[in-house]
């Protein structure tokens, strides 16, 4: 499958990627209903086999569940895939109420936990999920810039 260069980066993505929102399952506020993890993993493998080279996920999808599923799916295929995930949507405690944070400490904590769930040591494309709250946008972009600089 052909690829296209992403902006000014060194990343070359296929025109089609695989989104994993639904793979987060149904046990969260914005879930799409229960999903079978084995079927989700098979979907990732089928996409990669068809030539798709990037997967879009987010920490908030299923409160981390989608990232764990993606991590299992790519554990033996890391060289075949670019991983895009996101920060800025957080949850706390048993209520699992979704909040917003672009504070430096939060962004750094989120990337560390995402790396653990995905079972990888580098995220290829790290994104701010939503540019909110407004008063934290600059701090959030600064934190992302620090992460890029650190590799």
Residue 46: CB atoms within 10 Å: 11
Q: Which of 20, 43, 55, 61 is catalytic?
A: 61
pLDDT, tens digit (0-9, with 9 covering 90-100), for 45-84: 999 999 999 999 999 999 999 999 999 999 999 999 999 9
Residue 76 located in a structural domain: yes
Residue 4 located in a structural domain: no
CB 51 within 8 A of CB 42: no
Residue 6 located in a structural domain: no
Q: What is the CATH number of the domain that holds 138?
A: 3.20.20.100
Where does the chain have alpha helices with state H?
A: 37-49, 65-74, 104-118, 137-150
Residue 29: CB atoms within 10 Å: 10
pLDDT, tens digit (0-9, with 9 covering 90-100), for 81-102: 999 999 999 998 777 889 999 9
Residue 89 located in a structural domain: yes
- What angle do the packed helices 37-49 and 65-74 form, to 10 degrees? 50
**Overall number of domains in the chain:** 1
Residue 51 located in a structural domain: yes
Q: Residue 79: give the domain boundaries.
A: 11-150
61 among known catalytic residues:
yes
Residue 104: CB atoms within 10 Å: 15
């Amino acid at each position: 499958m052909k690829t296209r260069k992403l902006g000014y980066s060194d990343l070359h993505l296929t025109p089609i990627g695989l989104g994993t929102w639904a793979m987060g399952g149904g046990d969260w506020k914005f879930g799409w209903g229960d999903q079978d993890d084995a079927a989700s993993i098979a979907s990732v493998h089928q996409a990669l086999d068809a030539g798709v080279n990037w997967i879009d996920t987010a920490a908030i999808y299923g409160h981390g569940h989608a990232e764990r599923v993606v991590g299992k799916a790519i554990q033996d295929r890391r060289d075949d895939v670019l991983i895009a995930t996101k920060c800025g949507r957080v949850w706390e405690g048993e209520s699992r109420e979704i909040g917003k944070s672009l504070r430096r400490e939060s962004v750094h904590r989120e990337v560390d936990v995402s790396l653990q769930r995905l079972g990888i040591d580098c995220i290829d494309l790290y994104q701010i999920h939503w540019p909110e709250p407004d008063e934290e946008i600059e701090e959030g972009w600064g934190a992302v810039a620090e992460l890029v600089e650190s590799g």
